[in-house]
Amino acid sequence: MMNSMIMENGVTFKTLEKNIFSWVCEIGRQFTTEFLERYDRMLMEERDKKKYRHKGYRQTTIKTVYGEVTYRRAVCEVTQEDGSRHFVYLLDETLQLDHVGLISTNMAQLLVKGVTELSYRECAAKVSEMTGQTISAMGVWNVIQSLGEKVCEEEAQLVEEHKKGHIRGKKEVPVLFEEADGVYVRLQGKDRKSSRQDKAEIKVGIAYDGWKRAGKERYILSDKVVVAGFARAKEFHEYREAAIAETYNLEEVCERILNADGASWIKKVKDKSTCFQLDPFHRNKAVRERVHNLKAVKDIMELLDGEKIEELFEYLELYRNSLSEDGEIEDVEELIRYYRNNKEGLLPYQSQGLELPKHPEGLEYRNMGTMENHVWSVIARRMKHNHTSWSRRGGNHLAKILAKKCSGKLYEVTEKRKHPAFEEEKVEEIYGEILMSSKTPKKDGKGYAYPVLGHLVGLEGKVSAIFDEGIISLNVPASVLFGQGEEE
């Protein structure tokens, strides 16, 4: 029957696939509505009736990967010890919708992962295309702002707990490597006008305990912690320390080594006991930008590579005195100032006389200088190019989500539950009730057996699906499913 319908109407497999997908999403929405309402009734039956007074039902809608699910759940009045009253939804508390909002965690994860790679508009289009949900670019933006706000709140709580001495990571390492840098992104609207500048700096910091071999000539950073955001130096340092302390037991760290470009804000966050190394990329870049004679550039690079620091400064002074152009003289003087301000870091950390403990098994200690690559992969690739501009709030939220992704903790943006939301026994019970409530006989007439799984039964005016021993009926015309309806 199905083959004849397809042949007769000339339906492509693409059309069939899209229509079946839409139909299956409708089944999922109906099933989810029934499940949530039944689970809500279970919660109401088991509640403390003295504490939670039933005050009727309220309807709401939650966005899922297979579309919007509308359901009714009970509202309860709770009286506090001080006599104040407030209303709660037991089902919403079970689902922990206060964290994500009226959107499923799966849906939120799709959006969060999408915006780390695509613009809000592109993410909305892709998610709408690949799921049963239709969402706008503004809808995606609203979800990300809500989640970003939660991330900021959690960061603030982490900082407070760290100040109280309550944060101590489980991992104990002898050496901790740290890097920091900043990247400027364009501001938009009120933020650009109020600050009277077109750009603002997003600070980025990473910490790791060494390098793991991932291939013949490839290494990856071990247990990387990444933080980012618009912040003043002090605020950034406080959160950076708290984030590192959440993973590492800092009391057991013997040596901390910081690789950075020497910016003033980085010097402010550097601990006095921390060994500082001037980032090789910025150190060498400064020579190429400030020295215009190729022979001099080569000589300076050789002195740096040979770690002849005093000879380096003597050479720079002689070179400056040999110049006649004011612009060239100013450039060299700027280079000299930059190197003098960061003289302690001109040598790589391996040449600064440190007695480093032996690295843990499986790790190696290598040359530092991954910050420029991380600035690109964490922030610049998504936020700096393609003519994008940002509000401070929106840019800060996305920067923090991008940092979570680079740390391998993107799931933390949407998933905070430590335990399952639903009890397994109750889930199984409700599954059975839903299927049994629409149970149909296995035999019809002279012993014809209905199929049990994965088959579609075309009926006059509607289509039904049979699962196990139950049947779910939808008001979906067979003509739509098999291509006689409108195509996009």
Q: Residue 312 corresponds to which tokens in the numbers above?
A: 């380096």
> Are 83 and 134 within 8 A, CB to CB?
no
Residues 267, 255: Cα–Cα separation, whole Å: 17
How confident is the model over 185-236, as pLDDT tens digits?
999 888 888 878 889 999 999 999 999 998 888 999 999 999 999 999 999 9
First to last CA, the chain: 25
How confident is the model over 82-99, as pLDDT tens digits?
878 889 898 888 877 655
Residues 95, 282: Cα–Cα separation, whole Å: 49
pLDDT under 50: residue ranges of the chain: 417-418, 440-474, 478, 480-488
Provide the residue count of the chain.
488
For the stretch 465-469, contacts whose Cβ atoms lie closer than 8 Å and that sit 24 or more positions apart, written own/partner, are: 465/27, 466/440, 467/435, 468/435, 469/435, 469/436, 469/439, 469/440, 469/442
Residues 472, 323: Cα–Cα separation, whole Å: 87
> Are 487 and 10 within 8 A, CB to CB?
no
Residue 9: predicted pLDDT = 60
Residue 487: predicted pLDDT = 41
CA 245 to chain CA centroid, nearest Å = 20
